Structure 1
Amino acid sequence: MGNYKSRPPISCTDELKKKISESYALFRSKVIEELRPKESDWNEVQQAAANTADLCQLEQLLTEADCHEKTETGLTLLHIACIAGAPCSQLERLLKKGASVNILSKNQFSPLQLSVYRGDSEQVEVLVTYGADVNQAGHSGVGSLHIAAMCGHHEIAKILLDSGAKIDMGDLVKFSSLHIACHFGHEKVVELLLSNGSDINISGSVGDRPIHLASSKANLRIMQLLVEGTSQQKADVNVKDNEGHTPLHFCCKSGHLVTLHYLLDHQAVPHEANIYGDTPLHLACYNGKLEIAKQLVAQTGQESLIMENIFSETPLHSACTYGKSLELVKFLLEQQSVDINYQGKDGHTALHSACYHGHLRCVQFLLENRGDMNLVAAASDQSGDSEKREEQTALMWAFERGHDSIVTLLKHYKRPSEEGCGDYSQPGSLDGSYVAVPSPLGKLRSMTKEKIDVLQLRATLSHQFHLQITDLEFQETIGSGSFGKVYKGKVKGRTVAIKRYRASSFGAKSDVDMFCREVAILAKLNSPYVINFVGACLDDPSQFAIVTHYVAGGSLFSLLHEQNRLIDIHSKLTIALDVAKGMEYLHNMPLPIIHRDLNSHNILLEETGHAIVADFGESRFLRSTDEDNMTKQPGNLRWMAPEIFTQCTKYSVKADMFSFSLVLWELLAGELPFSHLKPAAAAAETAYHNTRPPIAITFPKPLVALLHIGWHANPDERPEFREIIPIIDECKQSQAVAMLSNVEPSSNPSLPLSLPMVTNQDSDGEGRDTPPMAGHVSAMRNHWEMEASRNSVSGSSEDKKRYPFPQLDKNGYVSDPMSTLRISMPLPLPPQAASSDSPPLSPPRQQAEPDS
């Protein structure tokens, strides 16, 4: 379907819940396997341990050595006695003979866990008395308290808690016993756990709380226990998991009306969207829950009916994606705000959704209710890195998915009021009748392009870069994005960064295309100023990963804006010089590379203070200098060049120079460019109002001129990186910078990322520490206000006219930024730097509430 990706049938959270159910189902099957042993394979003593009818037989045969003997499945005599339901006296005999109370079988079960599963409280008390570890993790990280919660044995759960069981201990997916009790619907266990102080809002591995699991069940009593809570804590009815699902989302997806009413009565927010943009009504419609949809609309209004998720689908689209409930579709169409032919952001209608998923009856119903088959959705054809828009009708969607019956229906459909089509009728003249079916070549091309890309990459990538997913050791998460997550990890003992792509991603771009392009670019790079490529996992899209050198210092963004570190001017110029050298390397390769996403997030810092350019997910090779098929708006909006933001498809490496100039300003000022604006508003200011960040009086003058030419509105006026490297280097080696940084001129030490502080005197005589080159708006404001005050007292009126001091707006920006340029430049600049036609820098427009 071009670049259209249908909404995933289940979310990551749903996938986890499925795995949990499967995990505990497997757990049960393994326990049952233990409880039904093959006695024919046992020796005489083992059979005696299982024989509860003749207790003397075991005592006659038992020796200390027998207590440690195991069956082929790893069962000891103590395991066997617990499985058989032996009396406590027999367990005590075995324990006194030296039987190990905490040994695990091959299926990872301790004797205590088997007794807990069977619900034998007497056995449990004996085992606990003889030192059984109540917190021992067995199969899937499950502890004894988890098993009691799963089976609903609240009396055994109380014994375990009294014996020191950790009430909030997590299993393999960080589910506590409270999670499990809510999942399996055991009210008494939930009540017991809450009364013993279990964390009511404890988070699982994807941020899911017990109330999320309870919401997907129809147990009102458990919901009441959680929401009404205890005197110390109560469950939040609007708490979100990592995907933004609230309890109401789970309730509507599962279709439990009683739970729905209870949550709404307790101030659950009805129109909240998850990270996919789905409201509870979306999920009800995706799962065909008619009664839930009716109650939601009746009690909470029609706001959700017109909300689109990130897949450009309203609840009507969602109902047609489900397609099995015509009553639900009919109900939605009866609502005043619903239009059967409403087109989402990508242009597709509910008819497109029904055609894509092959729902013949739903398609026919929509057609009979005036669904327009001629409306088109827009999809990108990304062949050859282009993004030409291809318009696709609902018929084309059905055709490419292979739904022949729907294709036939659409091809020959005519409305009841229309005359039949004759042999000489103009094709398409009667609202879609006898529409020509697109060539199957397009379908084949769409289906095979991504496979071809991967196969070609496997064939061309050097063998040394091929890695297996089993070669990777994943550690903590160090970053994330639309592609997936970045982990710190190891490969063959080497510390690396692992960029793991999601198994399925549903964005506007082809993740396979981006992955292949990034690997192809990284494999060709060899410079100390760009990230070092280690290898990639190419076997299967579900295992796609890119492995690079691990840079310990983190990103420049983190250093400046999260850690709020102050960097001396010498170190700032070291970073700027390294980035410029990295970009110069990329732009002057045999096949030049345009980065397209240069910003402080993608500049990594070594512990020595040197910088590395990273993240080539948006980058591409430039096969000619006159390409007119470039991607629209790749990269981060805050650092985006004006020609890219204005939807241009023809731009060059000079766009990277614009982004670099904003990064350079960010380094010098210690602030985000246009920090008072959201990213899209900042990009609009630079593109449509020619606004640039303010120039501080503390900025080195050569760099001020460099900023002006670097962020020039006309890309042709911007310099190349090879032209600016000598300027930054000379500035870095200058006497003034050395003095400010407390280093010897012309030396090149590896400086720590710290700033020597200079003590100034306030007007009240007290000392204050200020960074000499920080450039913060607050510091700039204080400095300018002080100078302005002095100027108003001591300066002549003529001087004030000729050299007015900068006035600041309420955000601390300079109203007359050109006033900082009146000092002569001590270092040489390229010819265009001195050009008088550089754009003036206007102050940012004031917005009460900037839009994103």
Structure 2
Amino acid sequence: MGNYKSRPTISCVDELKKKISESYALFRSKAIEDLRPRDSDWSELQLACSRGDVVRVTRLLTDENIGEKTDTGLSLLHIACISGVGKDLVELLYTKDSKTVLSKNQFSPLHLATYKGDGEIVEALLTGGADVNLPGNSDVTPLHIAAMCGHHEIFKTLLDYGGKINASDAVKFSPLHIACYYGHDKVVEQLVIHGADLNISGGVGDRPLHLACAKGHLKITQLLVEGTSHQKADVNIKDDEEHRPLHFCCKGGNLVILHYLLEHRADPHVCNIYGDTPLHLACYNAKTEVARQLVTLTGADSLIKENIFSETPLHSACTNGRSLDLVKFLLDQPAVDINYQGKDGHTALHSACYHGHFRIVQYLLESGGDMNLVAAVSDQNGGSEKLEEQTALMWAYEKGHDSIVIFLKHHKRPQDESACGDYSQPGSDGSYVSVPSPLGKLRSMTREKIDVLHLRATLPHQFHLQLLDIECQEVIGSGSFGKVYKGKCKGKTAAIKRYRASTVGAKSDVDMFCREVAILSKLKSSYVIGFLGACLDDPSQFAIVTQYISGGSLYSLLHEQKRLIDVQSKLTISIDVAKGMEYLHNLPQPIIHRDLNSHNILLDENGHALVADFGESRFLRSAEEDNMTKQPGNLRWMAPEIFTQCTKYSIKADVFSYSLCLWELLAGELPFAHLKPAAAAAEMAYHITRPPIGITIPKPIVGLLQVGWHANPDDRPEFKEIVPILEECKQSQAVAMLSNADTTPIVAFPTALPMVTDRDSDDEGRSTPPLAGHVSALRSHWEQEATRHNDPPREEIRRHLPFPQIDKNGYVSDPLSTLRIPIDLPRQDTRDRSQSPNT
């Protein structure tokens, strides 16, 4: 089903033709630059050439200075051709130096003489042996230049000297394309006579006839269509988007050419790849008289045709909204129904409301337009197939057209006794859909615009990017905001996060985008993802560009690639993440991440970790704010105080999420993998359940997990307390023994982390059990270890625990661990010697 709202405002072919036009404009500016050189620094010989002083040039010219050039790369022959001083000097210079030289702007003397239109100089150069087909700037040959400028006599001279009649430039345009584009009929006539390919294809499949019809050049159109006895231009030939010449003619409003093409059997009802007929394009571009003639001359077949966006010509006219006469004409046609619904259900009234055309909306309603018909629009935010039914009023409301919203809500139809308000009236013919007041929507839009303007003003200049600066390649991630691509930013590999310009639930993408850019621009740490810049010009082009981290996410490493990591590497990762979070929490204006999980921990090629994805993050103005968002981030790693709908939480929520990530890293399993994310969060919040702790986890880290995921946020440590414990643990003898105990062969991995090749390999020979394991295996192994070491009886352990040791599902019910190993967190001493990573 089509979704009208996603229709591009400009087609791919239109976009490429715009770039082609810009490239020719640049070409001409470069040519003019070479034709108007600055002679203030020229030598005596160069000045003599510019004056055409053959005697003086002869006297000054030597074998040493014959190759003399200006700063812009102009040779003596260039200067003579530019000055137009006669062919005698040109012949003299060509005799002395016959080498072809291009200027810095990539023009030969023949290119410049042709552009200037100096036939005598062109003749002299060609007689001297100049290459008539030499490509210059943009691969343009002298023949292309003569066609561009309309120098038909020079064009004939170039043809006589062997100019390639079908040569292509950088955009695959032949001289015939260029002559048609610029409307030089005498050049076109010569090309037709000399046998140029009249149906030759350009860079986007565009043919000379397409260009002539789009530009409205009737005589050229006639020359091409009538052609010669050997060949003629095809009046129904297609470009890459299957536009025919008639499409371009109607889009441009060229009425005379329309009649000419129809007389030569052009198909008036043919469609392009978007399903647009010529009548569609006439209506999209408000060409009223062309639309009248099409319907009068060719019948009503196109009036009821839909394109792939569920649009008939009436929809198209209401989308454009510039011609009320066109809308009136279409509604006068017997085949047209004012309330016709396209495949997705939207009517012409929907189109007019969405684009804010008040006069059209008013006329449609007065003519019997039904404002209660609904369009079925797919949910674009999550990419699901769920359809939402929307009235025309809701479309106007979505785009912030408040005058139309007010008009629709209070519109009085002729059959109504009174105008309807916000709610439907029982027993009335029309069931008006109640909608919220537009005031809230308008306020939201105004606030978003202010946020974007403020961001543009405050973001340092070096971070401002244009969409042309970035190149998206393959998709490496996605979310409700849009997609993340691996790509290029100014030639460097980067990660590019493209935002959708839409609303996600109660949160606006614009708000999230502005906040994320504002946060990233303030960060500078080797433990946090690096910010390269952002595109801020338009919501449809919003993008955030960061450094590309080749190793991917910790989640992918553990749960998709299912790699085993040695203990030292795990501790390296955990320390890096802790240092990144310490940096965020200890900034002058602290940042709370709110979405710390293994998806957002990235690993570089050296096995080090960086904290990423600040879409849910925000600056903290006080230690605890009472207006925080409810339930941001991923539920599986969410702190209990956030999950329970609390709006007052602190940076200690990040500590809880970090503790789950630390357990996940050491265990190699997802926290509560058998439960859905919401159920896992509920278990932790309401039953104070925590993942089971394996006996091989180093004792200091056991204690760290116990306090890190404590139910009371105040009892959790800060990251400046966590980092020293992890660093000391990494250097400890116990961890070294754990690292050396695994005798399984190690293989290289792109992240440079030592990995075990086979997760299912035999564990015999291990001096320690695996750091990852299922609950049942963990329980049985713990019981064996307890028996072997003559641990105290369970009754004695239970005396110290307020809850049972392990519940029926194998989870630790106590907010602390099964193994109550005491740990003394460093307090004042640690605070004195701990530092932020970047201080």
Q: TM-score normalised by the shorter chain: which range applies?
A: 0.5 to 0.7
Q: Could you say which residue in structure 2 is the equivalent of 1:243?
A: 241
Q: Counterpart amino acid of 2:85?
A: A
Q: Counterpart amino acid of 2:46?
A: Q
Q: CA deviation at 1:295?
A: 0.9
Counterparts of 2:392 and 2:14 in 1: how far apart (Å)? 29
Counterparts of 2:490 and 2:358 in 1: how far apart (Å)? 53
Q: 2:114·2:145 contact (CA, 8 Å) conserved in 1?
A: yes
Q: Could you say which residue in structure 1 is the equivalent of 2:163?
A: 165
Q: 1:305·1:338 contact (CA, 8 Å) conserved in 2?
A: yes
Q: CA deviation at 1:16?
A: 2.3
Counterparts of 2:497 and 2:155 in 1: how far apart (Å)? 41
Q: Could you say which residue in structure 2 is the equivalent of 1:349?
A: 347
Q: CA deviation at 1:147?
A: 0.6
Counterparts of 2:258 and 2:180 in 1: how far apart (Å)? 17
Q: Counterpart amino acid of 1:62?
A: L
Evaluate the alpha carbon distance shift between residue 103 and residue 233 of structure 1 in structure 2; reply closer, same or farther with a 3 A threshold: same
Q: Could you say which residue in structure 1 is the equivalent of 2:388?
A: 390
Counterparts of 1:469 and 1:403 in 2: how far apart (Å)? 28
Q: Any residues of structure 2 matched to 1:600-611 within 5 Å, and which?
A: none
Q: Could you say which residue in structure 1 is the equivalent of 2:11?
A: 11
Q: Could you say which residue in structure 2 is the equivalent of 1:125?
A: 123
Q: Could you say which residue in structure 2 is the equivalent of 1:197?
A: 195
Q: 2:269·2:301 contact (CA, 8 Å) conserved in 1?
A: yes
Q: CA deviation at 1:364?
A: 1.6
Counterparts of 1:80 and 1:210 in 2: how far apart (Å)? 35
Counterparts of 1:246 and 1:448 in 2: how far apart (Å)? 45
Q: 1:411·1:432 contact (CA, 8 Å) conserved in 2?
A: no
1:368 aligns with 2:391: no
Counterparts of 1:325 and 1:491 in 2: how far apart (Å)? 43
Q: Could you say which residue in structure 2 is the equivalent of 1:88?
A: 87
Q: Could you say which residue in structure 2 is the equivalent of 1:279?
A: 277
Q: Counterpart amino acid of 1:373?
A: M
Q: Could you say which residue in structure 2 is the equivalent of 1:218?
A: 216
Q: CA deviation at 1:334?
A: 0.4
Q: CA deviation at 1:153?
A: 1.3
Counterparts of 2:265 and 2:499 in 1: how far apart (Å)? 36
Q: Any residues of structure 2 matched to 1:364-443 within 5 Å, and which?
A: 364-415=362-413, 418-421=416-419, 436-437=435-436
Q: CA deviation at 1:426?
A: 5.6
Q: Any residues of structure 2 matched to 1:143-158 within 5 Å, and which?
A: 143-158=141-156
Q: Could you say which residue in structure 2 is the equivalent of 1:142?
A: 140
Q: Secondary structure at the match of 1:361?
A: helix
Q: Counterpart amino acid of 1:358?
A: G
Evaluate the alpha carbon distance shift between residue 542 and residue 258 of structure 1 in structure 2; reply closer, same or farther with a 3 A threshold: farther
Evaluate the alpha carbon distance shift between residue 267 and residue 132 of structure 1 in structure 2; reply closer, same or farther with a 3 A threshold: same
Q: Any residues of structure 2 matched to 1:491-530 within 5 Å, and which?
A: none
Q: Any residues of structure 2 matched to 1:541-580 within 5 Å, and which?
A: none
Q: CA deviation at 1:77?
A: 1.8
Question: Deviations along 1:416-445, whole A, 9 cap, x unmatched?
Answer: 564444999866968688964457777999
Q: CA deviation at 1:49?
A: 1.5
Deviation larger for 261-270 or 120-129: 120-129
Q: Secondary structure at the match of 1:284?
A: helix
Q: CA deviation at 1:111?
A: 0.9
Q: CA deviation at 1:501?
A: 13
Q: Secondary structure at the match of 2:335?
A: coil
Q: Could you say which residue in structure 2 is the equivalent of 1:78?
A: 77
Q: 1:414·1:430 contact (CA, 8 Å) conserved in 2?
A: no
Q: CA deviation at 1:504?
A: 11
Q: Could you say which residue in structure 2 is the equivalent of 1:66?
A: 65
Q: Counterpart amino acid of 1:403?
A: H
Evaluate the alpha carbon distance shift between residue 156 and residue 543 of structure 1 in structure 2; reply closer, same or farther with a 3 A threshold: farther
Q: Could you say which residue in structure 2 is the equivalent of 1:331?
A: 329
Counterparts of 2:441 and 2:423 in 1: how far apart (Å)? 27
What TM-score do the two structures reach when normalised by structure 2? 0.54
Q: Could you say which residue in structure 1 is the equivalent of 2:35?
A: 35
Q: Could you say which residue in structure 1 is the equivalent of 2:583?
A: none
**Equivalent of residue 107 in structure 1, options 105, 109, 113:** 105
Question: Deviations along 1:524-564, whole A, 9 cap, x unmatched?
Answer: xxxxxxxxxxxx9997969999xx9xxxxxxxxxxxxxxxx
Q: 2:77·2:109 contact (CA, 8 Å) conserved in 1?
A: yes
Q: CA deviation at 1:312?
A: 0.9
Question: Deviations along 1:104-133, whole A, 9 cap, x unmatched?
Answer: 3x2221111111111111211221222322
Q: 1:412·1:434 contact (CA, 8 Å) conserved in 2?
A: no
RMSD of equivalent CA atoms: 5.8
Q: Could you say which residue in structure 2 is the equivalent of 1:302?
A: 300
Q: CA deviation at 1:329?
A: 0.6
Q: Secondary structure at the match of 1:348?
A: coil
Q: 1:396·1:437 contact (CA, 8 Å) conserved in 2?
A: no
**Equivalent of residue 262 in structure 2, options 254, 261, 264:** 264
Q: Secondary structure at the match of 1:391?
A: strand
Unmatched tracts of structure 1, length 5 or more: 453-467, 476-488, 507-512, 514-535, 549-581, 586-590, 592-621, 625-852
User: Which structure has the larger Rg?
Assistant: 2
Q: CA deviation at 1:18?
A: 2.1
Evaluate the alpha carbon distance shift between residue 392 and residue 26 of structure 1 in structure 2; reply closer, same or farther with a 3 A threshold: same
Q: Counterpart amino acid of 1:56?
A: V
Q: Counterpart amino acid of 1:136?
A: L
Q: Could you say which residue in structure 2 is the equivalent of 1:233?
A: 231
Q: CA deviation at 1:448?
A: 12
Evaluate the alpha carbon distance shift between residue 364 and residue 143 of structure 1 in structure 2; reply closer, same or farther with a 3 A threshold: same
Deviation larger for 22-31 or 294-303: 22-31
Q: Counterpart amino acid of 1:210?
A: P
Counterparts of 2:543 and 2:432 in 1: how far apart (Å)? 45
Evaluate the alpha carbon distance shift between residue 125 and residue 357 of structure 1 in structure 2; reply closer, same or farther with a 3 A threshold: same
Counterparts of 1:239 and 1:156 in 2: how far apart (Å)? 31
Evaluate the alpha carbon distance shift between residue 474 and residue 284 of structure 1 in structure 2; reply closer, same or farther with a 3 A threshold: same
Counterparts of 2:177 and 2:422 in 1: how far apart (Å)? 68
What TM-score do the two structures reach when normalised by structure 1? 0.53
Q: Secondary structure at the match of 1:390?
A: strand
Q: Could you say which residue in structure 2 is the equivalent of 1:293?
A: 291
Counterparts of 1:430 and 1:244 in 2: how far apart (Å)? 45
Identity of aligned residues (%): 61
Counterparts of 1:135 and 1:445 in 2: how far apart (Å)? 60
Q: Secondary structure at the match of 2:257?
A: helix
Q: Any residues of structure 2 matched to 1:631-780 within 5 Å, and which?
A: none
Q: CA deviation at 1:396?
A: 1.8
Evaluate the alpha carbon distance shift between residue 505 and residue 316 of structure 1 in structure 2; reply closer, same or farther with a 3 A threshold: farther
Evaluate the alpha carbon distance shift between residue 227 and residue 426 of structure 1 in structure 2; reply closer, same or farther with a 3 A threshold: closer
Counterparts of 2:268 and 2:420 in 1: how far apart (Å)? 52
Q: CA deviation at 1:183?
A: 0.9
Q: Secondary structure at the match of 1:166?
A: coil
Q: Counterpart amino acid of 1:326?
A: L
Q: Secondary structure at the match of 1:41?
A: coil
Evaluate the alpha carbon distance shift between residue 255 and residue 500 of structure 1 in structure 2; reply closer, same or farther with a 3 A threshold: farther
Evaluate the alpha carbon distance shift between residue 206 and residue 444 of structure 1 in structure 2; reply closer, same or farther with a 3 A threshold: farther
Q: Counterpart amino acid of 1:376?
A: V
Q: 2:422·2:433 contact (CA, 8 Å) conserved in 1?
A: no
Q: Could you say which residue in structure 2 is the equivalent of 1:116?
A: 114
Evaluate the alpha carbon distance shift between residue 334 and residue 56 of structure 1 in structure 2; reply closer, same or farther with a 3 A threshold: same
Q: CA deviation at 1:48?
A: 1.9
Counterparts of 1:543 and 1:130 in 2: how far apart (Å)? 56
Q: Could you say which residue in structure 2 is the equivalent of 1:56?
A: 55
Counterparts of 2:223 and 2:67 in 1: how far apart (Å)? 45
Evaluate the alpha carbon distance shift between residue 167 and residue 363 of structure 1 in structure 2; reply closer, same or farther with a 3 A threshold: same
Counterparts of 2:325 and 2:86 in 1: how far apart (Å)? 60
Counterparts of 1:500 and 1:191 in 2: how far apart (Å)? 50
Q: Could you say which residue in structure 1 is the equivalent of 2:720?
A: none
Q: 1:78·1:101 contact (CA, 8 Å) conserved in 2?
A: no
Q: CA deviation at 1:367?
A: 1.8
Counterparts of 2:495 and 2:180 in 1: how far apart (Å)? 35
Work out the number of aligned pairs and report it: 546
Counterparts of 2:405 and 2:443 in 1: how far apart (Å)? 17
Evaluate the alpha carbon distance shift between residue 27 and residue 315 of structure 1 in structure 2; reply closer, same or farther with a 3 A threshold: same
Counterparts of 1:179 and 1:330 in 2: how far apart (Å)? 39
